[in-house]
Every structure is written in structure tokens, then in C-alpha cells.
């Protein structure tokens, strides 16, 4: 009984202590329990506020990132549009046909902007690229300024509020000159026969041979060897780097040419021969370029052609006294195959002469000893031969400083040289 009383007393004391410790007094109400919900609510509000602030910051950051990404995309599109304008200008300056323009057609946009063709991905796009080209010409130098704009879809390129970005690039191009600073330039061997005199330098992408009796009043250059059995006044240089033959004519049935920004058309000669002089000054052919695609074309005695160019797709036969003089800067005679000299003929030419085959008599073995050819200007042998071994015609070739620069005949692919390039913000 005592033991149980002791136990009960201990429990009663412990309960009172717990009551004091927990703040339970009269009335059985707790101050600690009354404060706990308010503290919890405060903590929850703090957490919610923090989440809100973090979320707002994330949304702001995402919005800013999206805006920056859009600005970058617009700026990139504007730059690409400007560079596209440079490509169009480059190709058009070579020749308008390469970008589907005519020579007299205004530049893209006619002072305004043109839409850059672009493939879609089916997802739509926010911007459309436009470019505008301005070209300043100074001789063979072209300064091209191309401005690109990224315009919001559905907007106007002329409305500043619709233009998301604009970039400008400038490039300076130079049209290369075609120069032939040699009396004779050969793709293969150049053999000067015993009855020949050449005033000026000779360059061969193979061997140069000066035969006994021949005289070269200049220097002999060869990508391989120089064989001198005659007279070379200016010495020789062997094992030179091969020379590039300039593109003088487009061989093929395309009788058109470009000169001075004009789209010109050569006159096709009818028949198999030419006697007298063809009609000069035909509209559309200001430089008097004539062509024939006959298998053999005969130029007969009494033919005197001044300020003109004759282009033959095959052989040309010279009979009697023939004179062909080109306009300044133009070739005089362009022959895809052989130049054939008949006995008793006298051929006088001035301006560049280009021969795809060789110079020979009526037959390969005939010397045509009574034939003469007097030429002033460079001669290009575009094939592997030059003068036939049996040829014994009196030939005089003299270089001319005023005939060094040549205008190509036909629409040639002459890439422009890019001298400088700059980008503007």
C-alpha cells in the first residue's frame, strides 16, 4: 500500500512539473499552442514570397533571354542579307546573265530593297531578309555597298518600326585585265622557222626552238628547254613556271559579246568566203565582230577589214592580199583550228591573233614559200603546235605596246578580284 502511494505521489508531482513546464495553468489554456499557428503562417508566407520573387526573376530572365535571342537572330539575318547582296553584285559585274539580269536593268531594288529568296521550314518565320546594293564605278574598280535588313513578317522594309535589324557591308572589286606582253605565247612548243623574224619576247609552256636562219629580237622563255640554232638577241630563260593563257574567246555557237556595258551581237558571215569588206557599223555590233562556223572559210584577195574582228570556228584560208586590223583593245583574228597560207598571199594583221591549231600551207608538207604574213601585236597559239615543220613563208611578227591589253570576245567568266571587305555595325 505504501509502495503504491509512493508511486502515485511521484506521478502527481511529475504532472505538476509538466504543467508548469508547458505553461498549463488554471483554466487549462496553453500560451505556446496559441502562438504556434501564427509562426507557421509567417514561415509559409516567407516561403511563398521567396518563390514568387524567384519565379518573377526567372520569368524576367527568360523574357530577356528570348528578346536577346530574337535580336541576335534578326542581326544575323540582316548580315546574311547584306552579304547576299555582295554575291549578287559580284556575279552581276562579271555578267548580268549569271543572276538573270540584263545589262541595262537597274540594280536590285532600283535604289530600294529587294527580298532575298529563302527556303522556308514550314514553321513560319518572324523576319524576312532584304538587301539593297549601291555600286560606284571608277574604271575597273567597283565599290559595292550592300545593306541588309531583317523585317518583321508582314511589315514594310521602308517602315523603321518594322525593321528589327540592319547591317551594312562594303567591298571593293577589281576587274582583271587581259594582257599579253609577248610577241608569241604558246600553250605547247613554239618553233620559229628559218624564214621568220620576231620582234619581242616569246614564251612557250613547253620548248622554244629557234631554227637556223630565224631571228628572235627579244628573249626566249620556256617552261622546259630553249634550243637556239639561229639568233636570239635577248638571251633565254628555261624551266619557267607555265604561263596561263588568257580566255580571249568563247568557242561555240554564241555570237554575243559584252563591251562597255553594252550587250552586243556579232554578225554571222554568210557563205564560205569573204571578199571585200563586210558592212561595218551595224546596230548592236559597235566593235564590228564577225564570225563564221563554216568548216573552211576563205578570205579572198582584196579584203580589207579595218576596226574589226574575225572569228572562225574552224580553218581560215588566206588567198591574195588580205588586211585585217582590229579596233583598239580587240583581237584581229581568232581561229579555232589552222591558219592556212596559200602561195602568193600577203596577210597583214594588226591586233591580237589567236590560233587554236598551227600556221601551215595548203597541205602539211607544202612550204608555201611565196606566202607572206606581216603582223603587229601578240600571237597566241592555244593548242600544242605553232608553225608547221615544212612552212617556209616569210613571217614577221612584231609586238606592240598599244596592243598588250585585250578585250575578250564573247561572254567570258573573268572572276573579279576582291581588294577589300569591311562590315559596319
Angle (CA) 130 134 137, round 5°: 155
Query: DSSP label at 326?
Result: P
Q: pLDDT digits over 218-250, tens only?
A: 999 999 999 999 999 999 999 999 988 876 665
> With a threshold of 0.75, does the pTM exceed it?
no
Closest CA to 308 of 277, 263, 344: 277
- Rounded to whole angstroms, the Cα distance separating 119 from 111 reads 25
At residue 256 the predicted structure's pLDDT band, cuts being 50, 70 and 90, is low
- Residue with more model confidence, 110 or 279: 279
Mind spelling out the 3-state secondary structure of 282-311? CCCCCCCEEEECCCEEEECCCCEEECCEEE
Residue % of the chain over a pLDDT of 70: 73
137 has a pLDDT exceeding 80: yes
- The answer to whether the CB of 328 falls within 8 A of the CB of 402 is yes
- Rounded to whole angstroms, the Cα distance separating 279 from 282 reads 7
- Rounded to whole angstroms, the Cα distance separating 81 from 259 reads 30
Report the chain's terminal Cα–Cα distance, integer Å.
Answer: 103
30 has a pLDDT exceeding 50: no
At residue 212 the predicted structure's pLDDT band, cuts being 50, 70 and 90, is very high
- The answer to whether the CB of 195 falls within 8 A of the CB of 393 is yes
- Rounded to whole angstroms, the Cα distance separating 399 from 395 reads 13
Mean pLDDT across 179-188: 93
Q: Which three cell numbers stand for residue 168?
A: 551594312
- Rounded to whole angstroms, the Cα distance separating 188 from 166 reads 54
- Rounded to whole angstroms, the Cα distance separating 226 from 167 reads 57
* Burial class (CB within 10 angstroms; exposed 0-12, middle 13-18, buried 19+) of 125: middle
- Rounded to whole angstroms, the Cα distance separating 313 from 253 reads 9
Q: Which three cell numbers stand for residue 159?
A: 517602315
Mean pLDDT across 322-340: 91
How many residues are listed for the chain in this entry?
425
9 has a pLDDT exceeding 70: no
Q: pLDDT digits over 50-104, tens only?
A: 676 666 555 555 455 445 455 788 888 999 999 998 988 888 887 666 677 665 6
Q: pLDDT digits over 258-291, tens only?
A: 665 566 778 889 899 999 888 888 888 888 889 8
- What average pLDDT does the structure give for the chain? 81
- Residue with more model confidence, 253 or 381: 381
- Rounded to whole angstroms, the Cα distance separating 240 from 343 reads 37
Q: Which three cell numbers stand for residue 203?
A: 614564251
- Rounded to whole angstroms, the Cα distance separating 137 from 63 reads 47
Q: Sign of the C-alpha dihedral, residues 365, 371, 372, 377?
A: negative
Q: pLDDT digits over 284-311, tens only?
A: 888 888 989 899 999 999 999 899 999 9
65: CB partners within 8 A, 6+ apart: none
- The answer to whether the CB of 204 falls within 8 A of the CB of 421 is no
- The answer to whether the CB of 176 falls within 8 A of the CB of 93 is no
419 has a pLDDT exceeding 50: yes
337 has a pLDDT exceeding 80: yes
At residue 253 the predicted structure's pLDDT band, cuts being 50, 70 and 90, is very low
- Rounded to whole angstroms, the Cα distance separating 149 from 333 reads 50
**Helix (H), strand (E) at residue 180:** none
344 has a pLDDT exceeding 60: yes
pLDDT of 95 reads 67
Least confident range of 4-8, 152-156, 192-196: 4-8
- The answer to whether the CB of 185 falls within 8 A of the CB of 208 is no
* Burial class (CB within 10 angstroms; exposed 0-12, middle 13-18, buried 19+) of 234: middle
Q: Which three cell numbers stand for residue 86?
A: 555582295
- Give 331-334 contacts, CB < 8 A, sequence gap 24+: 331/248, 331/249, 331/406, 331/407, 331/409, 332/308, 332/377, 333/309, 334/248, 334/249, 334/309, 334/310, 334/409
Closest CA to 328 of 279, 288, 282: 288
pLDDT of 238 reads 97
Closest CA to 382 of 266, 259, 251: 251
- Rounded to whole angstroms, the Cα distance separating 178 from 159 reads 46
Amino acid at each position: 500500500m505504501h509502495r503504491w502511494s509512493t508511486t502515485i505521489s511521484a506521478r502527481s508531482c511529475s504532472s505538476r512539473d509538466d504543467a508548469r513546464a508547458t505553461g498549463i495553468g488554471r483554466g487549462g489554456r496553453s500560451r505556446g499552442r496559441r502562438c504556434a499557428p501564427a509562426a507557421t503562417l509567417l514561415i509559409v508566407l516567407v516561403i511563398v514570397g521567396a518563390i514568387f520573387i524567384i519565379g518573377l526573376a526567372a520569368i524576367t530572365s527568360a523574357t530577356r533571354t528570348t528578346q536577346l535571342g530574337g535580336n541576335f537572330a534578326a542581326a544575323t539575318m540582316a548580315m546574311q542579307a547584306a552579304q547576299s547582296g555582295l554575291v549578287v553584285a559580284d556575279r552581276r559585274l562579271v555578267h548580268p546573265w549569271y543572276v538573270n539580269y540584263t545589262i541595262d536593268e537597274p540594280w536590285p531594288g532600283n535604289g530600294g530593297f529587294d527580298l532575298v529568296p529563302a527556303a522556308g521550314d514550314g514553321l513560319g518565320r518572324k523576319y524576312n531578309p532584304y538587301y539593297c546594293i549601291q555600286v560606284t564605278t571608277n574604271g575597273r574598280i567597283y565599290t559595292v555597298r550592300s545593306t541588309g535588313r531583317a523585317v518583321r513578317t508582314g511589315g514594310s522594309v521602308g517602315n523603321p518600326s518594322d525593321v528589327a535589324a540592319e547591317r551594312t557591308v562594303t567591298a571593293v572589286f577589281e576587274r582583271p585585265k587581259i594582257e599579253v606582253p609577248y610577241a608569241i605565247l604558246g600553250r605547247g612548243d613554239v618553233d620559229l622557222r628559218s624564214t621568220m623574224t620576231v620582234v619581242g619576247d616569246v614564251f612557250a609552256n613547253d620548248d622554244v626552238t629557234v631554227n637556223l636562219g630565224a631571228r628572235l629580237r627579244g628573249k626566249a622563255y620556256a617552261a622546259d628547254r630553249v634550243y637556239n640554232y639561229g639568233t636570239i638577241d635577248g638571251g633565254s630563260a628555261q624551266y619557267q613556271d607555265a604561263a596561263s593563257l588568257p580566255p580571249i574567246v568563247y568557242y561555240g555557237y554564241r555570237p554575243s559579246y559584252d563591251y562597255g556595258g553594252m550587250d552586243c551581237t556579232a554578225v554571222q558571215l554568210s557563205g564560205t568566203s569573204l571578199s571585200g569588206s563586210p558592212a561595218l557599223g551595224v546596230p548592236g555590233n559597235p566593235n564590228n565582230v564577225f564570225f563564221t562556223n563554216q568548216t573552211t572559210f576563205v578570205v579572198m584577195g582584196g579584203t580589207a577589214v579595218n576596226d574589226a574582228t574575225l572569228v572562225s570556228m574552224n580553218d581560215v584560208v588566206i588567198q591574195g592580199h588580205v588586211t585585217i586590223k582590229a579596233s583598239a583593245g580587240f583581237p584581229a583574228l581568232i581561229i579555232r583550228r589552222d591558219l592556212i597560207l596559200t602561195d602568193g598571199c600577203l596577210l597583214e594583221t594588226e591586233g591580237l591573233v589567236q590560233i587554236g591549231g598551227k600556221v601551215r600551207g595548203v597541205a602539211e608538207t607544202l612550204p608555201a614559200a611565196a606566202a607572206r604574213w606581216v603582223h603587229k601585236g601578240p600571237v597566241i597559239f592555244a593548242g600544242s603546235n605553232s608553225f608547221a615543220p615544212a612552212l617556209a613563208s616569210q613571217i614577221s611578227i612584231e609586238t606592240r605596246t598599244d596592243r598588250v591589253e585585250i578585250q575578250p570576245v564573247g561572254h567570258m567568266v573573268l572572276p573579279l578580284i576582291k581588294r577589300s571587305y569591311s562590315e559596319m555595325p
